[in-house]
Amino acid sequence: MPRPSVVFAAGQLLTHACWAPQVEALSPDYDLRFSDHTRDETIAGMAARLLAEAPPRFHLVAHAMGGFTAFEVMRQAPERVISLVLIATLAPNDGPAQTERRLGYIRLVEGGQFGGVVEERIPILVHPARREDEPLLTVVRRMAADTGADTFLRQQRAIMSRADSRPSLGAIRVPTLVIRGAQDGITTQAHLDEIMAGIPGARLAVVDDCGHLPTLEKPVTTNRILADWLASYAV
């Protein structure tokens, strides 16, 4: 009997390495796939590529920018998704302040300061207590380096032009789990409340003492949450 398929959609500046602990824990029981978020300049394009490369039916586990892609997948082909896991993401599109900040990042990167942008972002990605955790930060820096400046620019432009997903949350009818680090420096309680109120029947898991990267900061806890969730919706 074929194993159930799980497609992982990662966030900006992250690679498949952000899922390494989950791959180790889940690969014996699931067919694991990874979306390509490096080649498209729109979230819709990322979602279309994910769907083109994914099996006919799959669980979708999405982090941060991957959540934006997941919302688009649910607009394009909801019938293909068995269950949805949204990690450290948010539904609205950017406002003027966020757009201006991203334009600033683009100007810096186009001016050859990609490394500086990465270092500026690292402190908000992890729990305050982990900001001197060199093994963790080494993984984060390596993922950013592997992403590279050109892909980062494409990702920024995709994020800036994304749709506001709040109006379509109510149309998501698949089982949905929302995971958030309690000390996430990027998503807020208000963002969490919007998703929970918008998606009918959505369930919540809050990971204590954790920032924006639960898959790496709290891998044991995240693995348990995901394993329990996926087992509940085995097909």
Query: pTM for this structure?
Result: 0.96
Q: Please, is 235 exposed, middle or buried when counting C-beta atoms within 10 Å of its C-beta (0-12, 13-18, 19+)?
A: exposed
User: Using one digit for the tens of pLDDT, what is the confidence trace for 145-184?
Assistant: 999 999 999 999 999 999 999 999 999 999 999 999 999 9
SS3 assignment, position 153: helix
Q: Please, is 220 exposed, middle or buried when counting C-beta atoms within 10 Å of its C-beta (0-12, 13-18, 19+)?
A: exposed
Average pLDDT over residues 4-27: 97
Place of tokens 């680090």: 181
Residues 6+ apart with CB under 8 A from 162: 42, 43, 68, 72, 93, 94
The overall average pLDDT reported for the chain is 96
Structural domain boundaries of the chain?
A: 5-94+158-232
Which two tokens mark 34?
């990874």
Query: What architecture does CATH give domain 5-94+158-232?
Result: 3-Layer(aba) Sandwich (3.40)
User: Using one digit for the tens of pLDDT, what is the confidence trace for 187-206?
Assistant: 999 999 999 999 999 999 99
